[in-house]
């Protein structure tokens, strides 16, 4: 069963492009990554899912129900953490969390305590005295306190120190193991890489690709660097499947996708002093898609 189904979702702000024809599904129990550079349309997609904005055309469904018409019903089982959290200044942390809990007809007091302890959050302080990072922690507790079936995170880690990020990701993994589905948007690819099983890549408002994380990072690309004794004719490496061919003095580097034997043969034709064949990081894969998109356009 799919938790999220997005079909041809399009949003224009007047004439300005928000997202165009975005479609993807997120299955139950998945940790789904949503990556793209700033302004690509990640937040627009997420805000439409939460019915904060209305699509120009297309539709989105969560738990099989339409996002706009069934918004309040769906929201019962969603936890949402925006990239920047803002709360009512004059409240104490605990009052804000209780206020938040009062919307979900169940007792969350034990869970609030638990989560606050895990996140090392002082419940008695006033919100306006909190630092940016501590406000983010309030956001995390607020997002998870009602044990939602779907957790939506929009650039969640900004403002958290690495230790807290670790705790936060541990928490997310636990929730995922208990059955929650997670949608995480980010431009920090390493964090998507750490936790997600599948990703959609968005650029200029369009989804360029939806892929399994494993396929993205393992099967497709090799990052190859060779050090040649002397500068040779590099055009021999200009094969189909090779991209980002670059030479820096004696170092030649490129990405390769395709039959690995073919490229090995070519490498053996030149005299080399060193060779590295690596899995590209998601960052590099992503950059690759991003630039290929530009060529196409």
Partner 1 sequence: MNIFLHELKSYRKSFIIWAISMAATAALFLLLYQAISSDIAAFTKVLESVPEALRNALGFLVGSLSTLPGFYSIIFTYLLLCGAIQAMNLGISIVSREVSAKTADFLLTKPVSRAIILNAKLMATLVSLVATNLIFLAVTVPVALSQDPGTNMQLFLMISATLFFVQLMFASLGILVAVVTRKIKSVVAVSLPTVFGFFIVGMLGSVIGDKAVRYLTPFKYFDPAYILANSAYEVSFVVTGAFLIVAAIAMSYLIYVRKDIHTV
Q: Which residues bind partner 1 (CB under 8 A)?
A: 43, 47, 50-54, 71-76, 78, 80, 82, 84-90, 99-100, 102-104, 142
Q: Which is nearer to partner 1, 54 or 126 (CB)?
A: 54
C-alpha distances in Å from residue 244, one per residue of 203, 222, 274, 275, 278:
19, 12, 19, 17, 15
Q: How far is the CB of 109 from partner 1 (least distance, A)?
A: 15
Give yes or no for a contact between 115 and 151, defined as CB atoms under 8 angstroms apart.
Answer: no
Q: How far is the CB of 50 from partner 1 (least distance, A)?
A: 5
**Residue 17 bridge partners (DSSP):** 12
Q: Which is nearer to partner 1, 52 or 275 (CB)?
A: 52
Q: Which is nearer to partner 1, 43 or 217 (CB)?
A: 43
Q: How far is the CB of 152 from partner 1 (least distance, A)?
A: 9
Q: Which is nearer to partner 1, 180 or 193 (CB)?
A: 180
Q: How far is the CB of 240 from partner 1 (least distance, A)?
A: 42
Q: Which is nearer to partner 1, 99 or 276 (CB)?
A: 99
Please state, as a whole number, how many other Cβ atoms lie within 10 Å of the Cβ of residue 121.
22
List of residues 6+ apart from 135 with CB closer than 8 A? 85, 86, 87, 127, 159
List of residues 6+ apart from 132 with CB closer than 8 A? 159
Q: How far is the CB of 78 from partner 1 (least distance, A)?
A: 7
Q: Which residues of 234-255 are buried (b: 16+ CB within 10 A; e: fewer)?
A: eeebeeeebbeeeeeeeebebb
């Amino acid at each position: 069963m799919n938790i999220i189904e997005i079909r041809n979702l399009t949003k224009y702000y007047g004439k300005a492009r928000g997202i165009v024809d975005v479609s993807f599904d997120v299955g139950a129990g998945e940790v789904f990554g949503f990556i793209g550079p700033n302004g690509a349309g990640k937040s627009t997609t997420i805000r439409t899912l939460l019915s904060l904005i209305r699509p120009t055309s297309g539709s989105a469904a969560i738990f099989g129900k339409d996002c706009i018409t069934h918004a309040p019903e769906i929201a019962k089982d969603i936890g949402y953490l925006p990239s920047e959290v803002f709360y009512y200044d004059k409240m104490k942390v605990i009052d804000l969390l209780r206020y938040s809990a009062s919307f979900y007809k169940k007792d969350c007091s034990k869970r609030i305590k638990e989560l606050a302890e895990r996140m090392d959050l002082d419940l008695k302080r006033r919100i306006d005295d909190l630092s940016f990072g501590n406000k983010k922690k309030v956001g995390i507790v607020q997002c998870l306190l009602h044990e939602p079936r779907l957790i939506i995170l929009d650039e969640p880690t900004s403002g958290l120190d690495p230790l807290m990020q670790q705790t936060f990701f541990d928490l997310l993994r636990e929730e995922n193991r208990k059955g929650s589905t997670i949608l995480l948007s980010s431009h920090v690819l390493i964090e998507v890489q750490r936790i997600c099983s599948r990703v959609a890549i968005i650029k200029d408002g369009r989804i360029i690709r939806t892929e399994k994380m494993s396929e993205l990072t393992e099967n497709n690309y090799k990052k190859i660097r060779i050090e040649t004794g002397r500068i040779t004719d590099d055009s021999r490496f200009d094969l189909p499947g090779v991209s980002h061919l670059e030479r820096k003095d004696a170092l030649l580097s490129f990405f390769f996708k395709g039959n690995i034997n073919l490229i090995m043969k070519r490498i053996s034709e030149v005299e080399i002093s060193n060779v590295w064949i690596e899995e590209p990081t998601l960052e590099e894969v992503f950059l690759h898609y991003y630039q290929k998109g530009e060529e196409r356009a």
